[in-house]
Amino acid sequence: MSEPAPRRPVLVTGATGYIGGRLVPRLLAAGWPVRCLARTPRKLAGRAWAADPRVEIVAGDVGDPATLAQAMHGCGAAYYLVHSMLAAGAAYVEEDRRLARLFARAAAEAGVGRIVYLGGLGELGDGLSEHLASRREVERELADGPVPVTTLRAAMIIGSGSASFEILRYLVERLPVMVTPRWVSTQSQPIAVRDVLHYLVACLDTPETAGRTLDIGGPDVLDYKELMQVMASERGLRRRVIVPLPVLTPRLSSLWIHLVTPVSSDIARPLAEGLRNRVVCRDDEAARLMPQTLTPVRAAIREALDRVEQGGVETMWSLAGPMPGDPDWAGGTVFTDRREVEVAAPAADAFRAVCRIGGGHGWYAADILWRIRGLLDRLAGGPGLRRGRRDPETVAWGEPLDFWRVTGLEQDRRLALRAEMKLPGEALLEFTIEPGADPDHCRLVQTARFLPRGLAGLAYWYAVLPLHGVVFSGMLAGIRKEAERLRATA
């Protein structure tokens, strides 16, 4: 009996994003070799699955025909998971159409057998929000090519770390009384992220899904007010008082979401606009073709909350997007605050202590000052401290840590963070661990650099300079103390 033909690789775009980062290990578990196309391959280096010999990571962009053709060569299927939520207007819609058109053309030229696209569920017609209408345009551009497309349309995806889930969780946790848009009465059919991933993987082995548009949703249909009360119940909170107001526009709603939750107004606005559309499955074709036990809303929320509480969040909404380059420190005045301390612990323990900064651990000293700075940043339109961190113990290159992002990472040697807070300049915070006289000692060097922009930048530096002795020296001492505690308990 002859051996079955080996499976052709599956291309995954958007592997650095929320869904793509979870899809890759599920495809591997189902026996598919995977090729990931990423603008910044280094962002994937910290993923557990990146070391799997069946995974190939290639540098490129879906907007570059040359790298797209190279990535698709020899692939049997390709996932299109790159829809933008960070812009609006005609230019953004046209750019999404252009990228989808390029993708369909490249798939045809490479002989790809199937394109899989995750779109947005919603009523048909002319009343769609700009975001959902753009997703329909992407569907049409992909389907206009000769390669069969499987489109899966989902409403709110419930899973730890998703933008929709974080908005829901923070609104319910922080606001016992909520003034909301009138659209909170709109019906929705949320779906658990694990059920979405099942459909995304199962469709490859289900020929009947080729060339089809399928609505996917969980077993429950409820409006957003009911969804908020389920979240409150699972968090052990009292029922929320919800007051819908017709004058609360999507723009005002997105600004309010920005202030209360970790999600930026740029991402919140298309989500808020989408509330006006009823998002309920038209039929159960997806469930019939790819059967699974669908997760009820309450169970999906409980599972997501458990993941957050246990520090087991696999991917987060804030992981996606381009990485900024390092600041250009050449020219002009660069202010530097450099401090160092001897640590009576091995470099590995010092590095572990450094990597615990931010999120639930706090910043080792003057946490009230960090919280005030985070609040001011949030009011100014920045990320503030609410993004937290994906994992309480480990960090990966490209991940957010509160209002910083990891831009340098060398195991047991170095952690570099670039500020994403609103600043009149560029800021970098770096920790370097140098070996000591013996293996049980090391030297920890903490360096903060700031490149001011104009007079506002100079004024900012001198205004916060008196606080450095409290914040930076306290943080350094706290890291040393934690490293020595880790050594003592090892």
pLDDT in tens, the chain (490 residues): 445 567 899 999 999 889 999 999 999 999 999 999 998 888 888 788 999 999 999 999 888 888 899 999 999 999 999 876 544 555 677 888 899 999 999 999 999 999 999 988 765 555 566 667 778 888 899 999 899 999 999 988 999 988 888 888 888 888 898 877 777 788 889 999 999 999 999 999 999 999 999 999 999 999 989 999 999 999 999 998 988 877 666 667 777 777 777 777 666 666 666 666 788 899 999 999 999 999 999 999 999 999 888 877 888 877 765 555 555 555 567 899 999 999 999 999 999 999 999 988 889 998 999 999 988 988 888 888 888 888 888 888 888 889 999 999 999 999 999 999 999 999 999 999 998 888 899 999 999 999 898 889 899 999 999 999 899 999 999 999 999 999 998 7
Cα–Cα distance measured from residue 452 to residue 458, given in angstroms and rounded to the nearest whole number: 6
| Residues in contact with 270: Cβ distance below 8 Å, sequence separation at least 6, in sequence order | 85, 88, 129, 130, 131
Which helix (H) or strand (E) segment holds residue 343: the answer is: strand 335-343
Residue 109: predicted pLDDT: 94
Helices 297-310, 193-202: inter-axial angle, 10-degree rounding = 100
- Tell me whether domains 10-315 and 335-489 share a fold: no
Of the candidates 134, 103, 95, 96, the residue with the CA atom closest to the CA atom of residue 11? 103
Q: Which two tokens stand for residue 220?
A: 């429950």
> Which residues share a beta bridge with 341?
444
Which helix (H) or strand (E) segment holds residue 400: the answer is: strand 400-401
Strand order in the sheet with 10-13: 55-59, 34-38, 10-13, 77-80, 114-120, 149-154, 213-216
| Residues in contact with 123: Cβ distance below 8 Å, sequence separation at least 6, in sequence order | 277, 278, 279
Residue 127: predicted pLDDT: 58
CATH annotation of 10-315:
3.40.50.720
Q: Counting Cβ atoms within 10 Å, is residue 136 exposed (0-12), middle (13-18) or buried (19+)? A: middle
Beta strands in 27-162 (DSSP E): 34-38, 55-59, 77-80, 114-120, 149-154, 157-158
Helices 193-202, 18-29: inter-axial angle, 10-degree rounding = 50
| Domain ranges (residues) in the chain | 10-315, 335-489
The phi and psi torsions of 4 (rounded to 5 degrees) equal -65, 150
Cα–Cα distance measured from residue 215 to residue 192, given in angstroms and rounded to the nearest whole number: 14
Residue 242: predicted pLDDT: 85
Residue found by looking up tokens 């009138």 in the block: 182
Dihedral class, residue 125 (left if φ above 0, else alpha if ψ from -120 to 50, else beta): left
Three-state DSSP at 142 gives helix
Amino acid letter for position 482: E
Tally the residues of the chain. 490
Residue 461: predicted pLDDT: 92
Q: Which CATH superfamily is domain 335-489 in?
A: START domain (3.30.530.20)
pTM: 0.83
